[in-house]
């Protein structure tokens, strides 16, 4: 499964946001993931217009299938770096669609590069697993050691032993 460009009528949104470029992409397997790509000319432009664009999308682009409603993305592409605070606010806003910001991407962007970005960001094509050195033998965790011979009855001494081991576990969290 990969992302591919789909036909979409952007006439109205382009009229309202003339400085932003738009594209519509969907996953090839039953259009399960939909992405509206917004290409901005600057970080300032993105920060000033993302919310208005999202509101416009909420009115004019409502997927019909329930599964598709939870898989709508706004990919906000910008040739500059976005202030970390603004990036956090934008990407954590879930109204209408999930938002992904792609920074420092020179524009204009070729179609093949856009497909690569979408496949990497939305479908994880850039993730690689290397298990060549993942052979583990005779592994025993410290947690398992603490659970061996743990008394489970309701006696005071058993409760005391369990409390001591819980204390050991909680004090070791985050330590290497």
What residue numbers bound the domain in which 161 lies? Answer: 142-172
Dist. CA 10–CA 159, nearest whole Å: 66
Q: What are phi and psi of 125, to 5 degrees?
A: -60, -25
* pLDDT at position 29: 65
User: Do 146 and 85 share a structural domain?
Assistant: no
User: Do 13 and 66 share a structural domain?
Assistant: yes
Dist. CA 115–CA 107, nearest whole Å: 14
User: Do 153 and 87 share a structural domain?
Assistant: no
User: Do 97 and 53 share a structural domain?
Assistant: yes
User: Do 149 and 113 share a structural domain?
Assistant: no
Dist. CA 52–CA 96, nearest whole Å: 11
Dist. CA 39–CA 45, nearest whole Å: 10
H or E segment at 85? helix 84-91
Q: Looking at the domain assignment, is residue 132 inside a domain?
A: no
Strand, coil or helix: 167 = helix
C-alpha distances in angstroms, 120 versus 13, 28, 102, 129? 26, 15, 11, 14
* pLDDT at position 24: 84
User: Do 61 and 146 share a structural domain?
Assistant: no
Dist. CA 125–CA 28, nearest whole Å: 14
User: Do 93 and 21 share a structural domain?
Assistant: yes
Consecutive sets of 10 residues in the chain, 176 residues long: mean pLDDT of each?
Answer: 70 90 78 83 96 88 62 90 95 88 88 84 74 61 74 87 84 66
User: Do 96 and 155 share a structural domain?
Assistant: no
Domain count, the chain: 2
Q: Looking at the domain assignment, is residue 39 inside a domain?
A: yes
For 38, counting Cβ atoms within 10 Å of its Cβ (0-12 exposed, 13-18 middle, 19+ buried), the class is buried
Dist. CA 32–CA 26, nearest whole Å: 7
* pLDDT at position 70: 66
Q: Looking at the domain assignment, is residue 131 inside a domain?
A: no
User: Do 148 and 106 share a structural domain?
Assistant: no
Helical axes 43-60 vs 84-91, angle rounded to 10°:
10
pTM of the model: 0.66
User: Do 151 and 93 share a structural domain?
Assistant: no
Q: Looking at the domain assignment, is residue 12 inside a domain?
A: yes
Q: Looking at the domain assignment, is residue 134 inside a domain?
A: no
Dist. CA 175–CA 84, nearest whole Å: 29
Name the one residue in this structure whose structure tokens are 């946001």: 17
User: Do 149 and 116 share a structural domain?
Assistant: no
Q: Looking at the domain assignment, is residue 86 inside a domain?
A: yes
User: Do 109 and 37 share a structural domain?
Assistant: yes
* pLDDT at position 132: 65
């Amino acid at each position: 499964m990969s992302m591919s460009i789909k036909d979409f009528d952007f006439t109205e949104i382009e009229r309202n946001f003339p400085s932003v470029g738009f594209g519509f992409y969907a996953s090839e397997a039953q259009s399960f993931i939909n992405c509206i790509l917004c290409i901005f000319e600057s970080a300032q432009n993105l920060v000033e217009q993302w919310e208005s664009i999202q509101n416009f999308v909420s009115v004019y682009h409502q997927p019909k299938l329930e599964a598709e409603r939870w898989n709508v993305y706004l990919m906000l592409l910008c040739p500059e770096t976005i202030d970390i605070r603004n990036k956090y606010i934008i990407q954590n806003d879930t109204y209408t669609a999930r938002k992904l910001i792609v920074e420092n991407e020179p524009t204009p962007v070729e179609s093949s590069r856009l497909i690569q970005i979408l496949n990497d960001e939305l479908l994880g094509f850039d993730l690689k697993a290397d298990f060549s050195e993942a052979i583990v033998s005779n592994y025993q965790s410290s947690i398992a050691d603490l659970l061996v011979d743990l008394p489970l009855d309701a006696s005071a001494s058993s409760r005391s032993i369990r409390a001591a081991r819980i204390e050991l576990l909680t004090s070791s969290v985050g330590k290497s």
